[in-house]
Structure 1
């Protein structure tokens, strides 16, 4: 690690080694697939809650949120404000439902409700969502560590990926949860240290930060007009509500944790604990972005460096070239927002503390990636392998498939991260991809839960219409200029909203012949 003092390197290596040893420790308890996927229901609710919080607080939050606040305002925080309502619905309906079924997979019930196709469709949507999530997080952490160490991004992905795979494969869901408890605490402490360091460096402190932020409208939640074309308050509120419904109701990462609790009451406690921690902590990351904006406003020479670095990466040309200099003059704060946090860490965070902050960043990435790998492997084993390949598989074979699937998901996630190199906004790319893949899955689940009379035929018609709509909303921007009138005119974050509502409403309205009679 070229740019880091030895003490920081030691701190990072100790952290990585500790995570691997956690996996080794819990590997002794994984005697069956049930141990690997449910931890035999022996995890306390408070630990599950912190682990869900840690999954939410990924490196997309650690890097993407400050970058978003630096380049814009607090509009994206509205996503967090939608969580309590989604959590209330989850604890009232979703948690009791999944606990009563006893099925570790979130998608088994869809086959019982509508048939094999429904389960397969939801599984495909989930796996695509997880690959997008894992890829975006691998990319985010590699981007940061490249800025700090000078190492190649792909090499960083491989190093972190190997460590994550080892403790996830060996320890199963129990290792994932307990490492996330540590990681959740570590990244919260890391965020508090960063905000203290930034405030310390701004002359005038908090009053100056508040005044400058107010002058530049950096604390706005977005327009409250009923504007569904731009990123208004209402667009993000709707997106957040539907996305959090999907997280708590259909995402295997969270549903699987409900089964690790000793009771439904403990599972409900874990959901609410996650919400009450995540909402204020996510606000903390917006505050960090705003503080960084003020700091860089006072140091325009650092802004120029960031612009040149961003232009150089986009053009893949050396910093001194005229083309890079020309592009740098056109860049706006939102173009280099994701680079601000790593840059500040390089120039301002002292030795020793930097190693702790990098460990916090690693923990932000590792918690979500390991959770996604474990959940994806569980879904593959339960919904694909045991359903289509080997219905009579024994415990030893199931456990072996879980191990292999975990490794494969990690490798594919790294490939997705490589494909994302060069994206403009880490948070934007994740929100767009997750909205596209999640819309149809959530709509089908809610249709089965709400509309008791909805038949297999009506569900098929509803999903077809919903998917066609989602494809049009997602890809119509590729149409040539002369076909502008055929392009989706509203904000991309509404894709999950319209996709979900279309499937629900069509499924309810379409009647079978028997019903019409």
Structure 2
């Protein structure tokens, strides 16, 4: 497809403008502190919009409509858990991280359980970010493929190179300020898409709701107690644990707590970013439902090669390219692309920060000068960017990018939230208790995630997990906390008995 001249101009002007704006922050990044936390001087509302944009990215903008188009609103239950996680974050996590003298989210774990805990959690975080970057780059390639029929692997590689330049030059200040711009434009673009879909129906807006209701597209999922299906309760609990992990131990969020001027500002940013996502994610799911009704009412508008359920992620990009008015298409594509780039930049920046603080300064050179620190940050960003591109290319084999991202984040998280909760809420827990808990948690995660694929023959079949894959992080986290908590009670009780006997 050839993009109309107006859309092409909008796309190019917007992209060049946002990239140049991001790169302009290069002149403010003269120290590692400025590169990683913006010297702690960023406005609270900007940081809040950045937290929101981190949630949105291209995963939400493209994958959520794709999921709603393919099934129903079951995935929206994930968003319903965010207010609970936000309250816990504001109550416990923000004061904790503002109070410790480290930019690393995992320094606290070392103070509680030793260096191994910090190393374990930071490694899990880096793996999670690779999965996130890969998912986003893959989803960014879809609308460009729909517009220009360009090769998806080629788009992924070019995007990876562009993001590397952007993140290396801009640092966290560029990421946060461009995130704020993207957040406003993405909301406006999503509202425009929803309105166009509603008023493009042959029988008017009400036809969307009529068709969707007939197909049960607004369902939030089954309320059954099954643990093997994607029920309302499975997604709600999964969402709560993932969002607690985001706010409690995700370096991307912890860094944002440190970019504001005060703890009060950090709490405001957390509430703003998290609560804004709730209605906007509902809007994304509505777009997917409206797309389903739109093409049900006018099936001739959707090419035969996109009518397979496995290609649901590509329907919204096709509509953007073919169903929106001229000018709006270019702006929407540009905003999706730039938002994805800024989100990937966040992952690159936070991952580079972890590599510097948790690895290089911890094990190689503790007191690094500014020049060395900046070179480590640049090199770490480069390596993570290359690995992210490789993961994105592997995404070509998946049916749903959202399902793939959820599954990978659940596996790679390694239940590290359980380790954090153990350290925070159990004062008796020590190194040995935490280690036993982590071993148990990792075994649970591996069993739930891997046994369905590998326990196929008759001998192993009885040991195969029938639980939903999203429960891996839930039960892994729970296992770490409970095993660590109870072993701490048992061992400490024995110690007390021995002391009394003396």
TM range (shorter): over 0.9
Q: Does 1:389 align with 2:372?
A: no
TM (norm. structure 2) is 0.95
In structure 2, the residue matched to 1:163 is 162
Q: Distance in 2 between matches of 1:73 and 1:446?
A: 33
2:412 partner SS:
helix
In structure 1, the residue matched to 2:390 is 415
Task: Give the deviation of 1:481 after TM superposition.
Answer: 4.2
* 8 Å contact kept, 2:138–2:392: yes
2:2 partner SS:
coil
In structure 2, the residue matched to 1:43 is 42
Q: Does 1:480 align with 2:456?
A: yes
* 8 Å contact kept, 1:62–1:364: no
Query: Is there any run of 5+ residues in structure 2 with no aligned partner, and where?
Result: 498-502
* 8 Å contact kept, 1:87–1:275: yes
* 8 Å contact kept, 1:224–1:232: yes
Task: Give the deviation of 1:20 after TM superposition.
Answer: 2.4
In structure 1, the residue matched to 2:412 is 437
CA deviation string 1:23-69 (max 9, x = no partner):
33211111110011111111111110000000100111111111111
In structure 1, the residue matched to 2:319 is 344
Q: 151-160 or 429-438: which moved more?
A: 151-160
**Equivalences for 1:491-510 in 2 at 5 Å?**
491-510=468-487
Q: Does 1:190 align with 2:182?
A: no
In structure 2, the residue matched to 1:314 is none
In structure 2, the residue matched to 1:6 is 5
Q: 380-389 or 155-164: which moved more?
A: 155-164
Q: Does 1:55 align with 2:45?
A: no
CA deviation string 1:182-222 (max 9, x = no partner):
11111111111111111121122221111111111000101
Q: 11-20 or 450-459: which moved more?
A: 11-20
Among 372, 377, 382, the residue aligned to 2:352: 377
In structure 2, the residue matched to 1:315 is none
Q: Does 1:291 align with 2:290?
A: yes
* 8 Å contact kept, 2:106–2:121: yes
* 8 Å contact kept, 1:22–1:167: no
Task: Give the deviation of 1:487 after TM superposition.
Answer: 1.0
CA deviation string 1:100-133 (max 9, x = no partner):
0031110111111101110000011000000000
**Equivalences for 1:63-212 in 2 at 5 Å?**
63-212=62-211
In structure 2, the residue matched to 1:403 is 378
Query: Is there any run of 5+ residues in structure 1 with no aligned partner, and where?
Result: 311-330
* 8 Å contact kept, 2:145–2:151: yes
**Equivalences for 1:176-325 in 2 at 5 Å?**
176-303=175-302, 305-306=303-304, 308-309=305-306
Q: Distance in 1 between matches of 2:283 and 2:492?
A: 56
Task: Give the deviation of 1:513 after TM superposition.
Answer: 4.5
Q: 44-53 or 349-358: which moved more?
A: 349-358
In structure 1, the residue matched to 2:500 is none
* 8 Å contact kept, 2:348–2:381: yes
